[in-house]
Copies of this chain bind each other. A is one copy, B any other.
């Protein structure tokens, strides 16, 4: 089955303590579709770029088999640019600049062939935009959304309307605390379930992720890396890997979602070993399977 990702396609400037890169391929839509493309499923991307977006980048996405019919190119526009700077411990990130450019006026209309996509991942975007995608989808089997602090603070009402329409909400621990005002993650997750999603997945960075439903609790380990080059895109790689796996097995059971979260964790672990999607260019599926098995061994008792 197919996965549809609606997210950003950006040119990123990243400053790490010992390296800086400029205008590299990034964005939630890119990280999520590249992650999903490791699994046996059609992957579709909805996003927007400007006339300045390098053809080499679209060529790369094509080589991954990603369907780009939904990637709009605005001829007189400029691509979304984001700049971020990480502190020495990689956990603290400052945004240096955000140039929305073509994203500011983006109101995506799904290509007809995309409307029936069963697996929808709505990466971080204005909640109104995320909702409009749900309304255009005709046969969603699983709707998963991400969000961020900005929308929690500025668009809470629209966000709550969105949460009533999704199956799974994915967000990070600080966002879960911000959304609910509760510092206890289990209580925060329970509060979020009351807004509508059947499942809440909380990403905790180097501490793994947890999944909560009304009747289940899953604790997914982090992959133990000794070298981190750039954490940008880890969360979207996690979600994209998860969606790709679920679509490939055509299963949304508790068991499948647990496996999917661990596959997402593994794809994200590769992502952060290099800048942009450079590490993913070289990853073989056998390496993904190997890390998956290592994690299975790492939690066994």
Contact = CB atoms under 8 A, between A and B. Distances in A.
A288 to B, nearest CB: 15
A40 to B, nearest CB: 20
A81 interface: no
Contacts of A286: none
Nearest to A299: B299
Interface of A: 88-91, 183-187, 190, 204, 206-208, 210, 217-222, 224-228, 255, 258-259, 261-262, 294, 296, 298-301
A108 B276 CA distance: 57
Contacts of A224: 186, 210, 217, 219
A17 to B, nearest CB: 11
Contacts of A262: 301
Contacts of A206: 185
24 contacts: A91-B183, A184-B225, A184-B226, A184-B227, A184-B228, A185-B206, A186-B224, A186-B225, A186-B226, A187-B226, A204-B207, A208-B219, A210-B224, A217-B224, A219-B221, A219-B222, A219-B298, A255-B301, A259-B301, A261-B301, A262-B301, A296-B301, A299-B299, A299-B301
Q: Which 5 A-B pairs rank lowest in CB-CB distance, beginning with the nearest?
A: A89-B183, A207-B207, A258-B301, A219-B221, A299-B299
Interface residues of chain A: helix, strand, loop or mixed (majority) = mixed
Nearest to A207: B207
Contacts of A185: 206
Contacts of A184: 225-228
B207 A299 contact: no
Given A210-B224, A224-B210, A262-B301, A90 B217 contact: no
Given A90-B183, A183-B88, A207-B207, A221 B190 contact: no
Contacts of A220: 301
Query: A187, A219, A224, A227 — which one has the most chain B CB atoms within 10 A of its CB?
Result: A219
A186 to B, nearest CB: 5
Contacts of A226: 184, 186-187, 190
Given A88-B183, A259-B301, 9 more contacts: A184-B228, A186-B226, A210-B224, A217-B224, A219-B298, A220-B301, A255-B301, A258-B301, A261-B301
A214 B295 CA distance: 17
